[in-house]
Structures are given as C-alpha cells and as structure tokens.
Structure 1
Amino acid sequence: MNEGTGAVRELRAMVVEDEPDLAGLVASYLERDGFETTVTGDGAAAIDLARGVDPDVMVLDLGLPGLDGVEVCRRLREFSDAYVVMLTARTEEVDTLIGLSVGADDYMTKPFSPRELSARIQARIRRPRAGLGGPRPPSPTRGLRVFGDLAVDVAAREVTVGGRPIHLTRTEFDVLAVLSADPGVVVTRSGLIGAVWRTGWDGADHLVDVHIGHLRRKLGDDAVRGRYVRTVRGVGYRMGDGR
C-alpha cells in the first residue's frame, strides 16, 4: 500500500460475506476498532472493490455463491498482501487447507465470536509491512539477515533469493522473521503459533506446516534439502545455512 508524504490514512477493511446479518455484525466490530469498512456479498465484485479500496484486512467467506472465497483470495494475492481471514461453515480440514493454500493468513469456523475475530485482527494489524509496489524505506545493515543466497531485510520487510525479490504474504514473512531471528535455535510449532498468530489461537499445529510449505516453495527450497528452512523431526523448525 503506497502512501504519500501526508498524514497516515485510516486503516481499511473489507467484509466479503453473503449473509447480510453476519456481514453487518463483523463490519460493526471492525468500524468500532477504527477501520473504514466496505461490505459486499459478491466475490467478483470484491476483487474490483479491493483494487480501489486497497484493504489492510479482508474477512472473506469461503462459501460465497459464484466466485468462491478460494478464488477471490487467489486473485487478491495477485495485487494485494492484505491480511485475509477466511470464514468457513465447513469443518473438514481440507477446506481450511485449500483456503490457506491460496494465501489466507488465518481462518475461523462458523459460528465464531466476533470479539475473537476482532482480537486476532488487532494483534496482527499492528505489525508494519511494506506494500507490494512503490518505494520502501532504506534497509539498514543491522536489519539484514543472510543465509547463502537468501537475504531477509526485517526493517523493510523484504526478502530476496539471489537478488530476486520474493513476494511473501504478511504471515509468511512473519514466520521467516521468527525463524531467522536466532538461526541456531529450533522453534516449536506452538512457539511459532505464539509468536506469529498470538491472540486466542485455537487451531491445530498443522497451520504452521501449511505456511512453511508455502514459504519453501516461494524460496525455491524443499523439506529434503532444507537450505533455508529445516525440519527438526518431532520438535519444529529452524533456519538452514543456505547451502
């Protein structure tokens, strides 16, 4: 999200939900928390609106009619790194994994507590991030972490492999930032959940594995080589040395 030299703009949220009562309830909580909120129940319209709204947060129903939440999230990720919370009425794990595989950062199963949704969003939105395009702040050397061809600039929230920029979602970057903070230390799955998702997380540890998988693919790594992210069986993950 690109901002000029003027005042910091109000945070923006989109609620994409075809149940009007639920959409209105979620929107009211977001507005109470200071978000400028846009609501739609149509997936295709959500993509067009998102290009204009440039949201910081999107609360997205998986089971939208027509263009469903998975496809909306997939298309959104082509131009936005908004924090996406997927809502699903289906409890099967496969639905959750499909949603996360296209770039959702979190999920909640209906019925859910709007207060908990608000708390999760507030905990995550406080973290600064760089937008997908436009100028970014300079990268101080003290914020640069290097592992072979992988460079993680924590201050600018930029990642490169062999000098090529790698676009990570907000959550993927946060996972990498936690692991790279102390490369010799193994971080457990519960430790990653506490550091990245923080408030009120009640999901299974497989959420971490899903995001690690996405991170490895984007970095050109895999579980066997573990050049950048290594699995420590039965414990968790740690950084590799890039070789």
Structure 2
Amino acid sequence: MYELTLIGIGTGNPDHVTLQGVQAIREADLILIPRKGESKADLAGVREEIIAKACETPPQIAYFDIPTRHSDEGYLQGVDDWHDAIALRWQAAIAEYPDVTKVALLIWGDPSLYDSSLRIAARLHPQPRKRVIPGITAPQALTAAHAIPINDIGAPYVVTTGRRLRDEGWPANATKVAVMLDGECSFQSLDMAGYDIWWGAYVGMKEEILIHGPLIDVAQQILDTRAKARADHGWIMDIYLLQKSTR
C-alpha cells in the first residue's frame, strides 16, 4: 500500500506552489511526470524546475508517456478509454519502484477543477491512499493578472469549456463565463458585438500574454497572438473570461 498525493502547482510559476505543496514534494519518494511529445517538452521541464526549487535533494522521478486519445465512439467514451490507458501507465511506472510508500503527481492548476487525475486515480488497483494538495486555479490566475474580480456583486459566475460554449451557446442567465480547455477559440461562435473578453496565455509564467477589450475589437488579435505563441513554444495553455457588454 502506498499513498498517492496530487499536488496542485498553479499555472506554471514555481511561486504558485503553496508551502503545503512544497512540503509534499519534499516528502515524496517518487514523483511521476507525464511526457506529451517533443513539442511539449517544456511542460515536463516546468515540473522539473518546480521540484528542483522545492528541495535540495529531489526524490526519484519516473516519466510516463501520455497515450493518444481517440474519439471514434464519441467524446465521453473516448475520454473514458483514455483515462483507463493513463491509469495503466501510472501503475506500470509505480511498479518499477516497489519499495516506495509516497508517490506524487504535480497537477497543473488544481486537481479539483477540470482535471481528471482524481478520476484516473480511482482506476488504480489496488487503490492507494489518496491526498490532495490544492493549487491556484487558472481562473484565479487570470483574474489576478488582469486585476479584476471574477464575479459581480452578489452574483454567480459560470466556469465551462470551449466545447460546451460552442455546442450549447451562452449559458442561461449567466453574466460572466470563464472558459477553459478551448483549443478552437469558441468565442467566435457568439455574437461578438455583445461581449467583453479578458484573455490570457501562460498566465503567471514569464511568457504571460494578456489581452482585454470588446470581443469584436480584439478577437482577431487573440487568434493571431495565440497561433504565433503556440508555434513559438510548441504548446499553449490559455483561458478567458467573457462578460455580457453593458454598452
């Protein structure tokens, strides 16, 4: 039996890791790091930098390759099968170190918000003891970077994905919507004259890019900036907040 700790590391800035997260890194016997191909090698490098900054003597590190996700049988079934495949990669990596008692994964953002690590962990056999260390979320980092509140006074806000915004449109009764996991810039599906946007990429990192304004005015700037940044770095993580325009 081992303990599996999922450590939220924020949006890539080593300073986002809480003291609790640093302590969990120091206590780990083994840390699993995913590899997503040469074009996204920087993602593993960020995790390595965080580990090196947290402790003088790093724990053992085991790398595993992220399998390809397929959607031949539909999106949800494809995700379900993908999670099964990732769980098998975790198990195989951990099995190479039979004497470890504390295993950790560094989770981008927070393990509770649009991250599947807890669902993947539930597929491990036998089940380890699980511990979660919260991290700064992408919406927190975005609103901090733009120095804005995420909600209006006494009002709720919606967090959703690009796919749902594109397929279902603007959420009913929402005035502010944070959109994550949007590789297709789904704000283009809206009547862009009716919204303001606060967009950010690599938020909190030295590569941070921020754009804000009426959506109709800055949409093309975001599209061009996003495409160039992805080409320059080989990967991109971005998020945006939309608000119905009051003009």
Report the TM-score range of the alignment, normalised by the length of the smaller protein.
under 0.3
Between 1 and 2, higher relative CO (CA 8 Å, sep ≥ 6) is seen in 2
What TM-score does the superposition give when structure 1 sets the normalisation length? 0.26
**Bigger Rg, which one:** 2
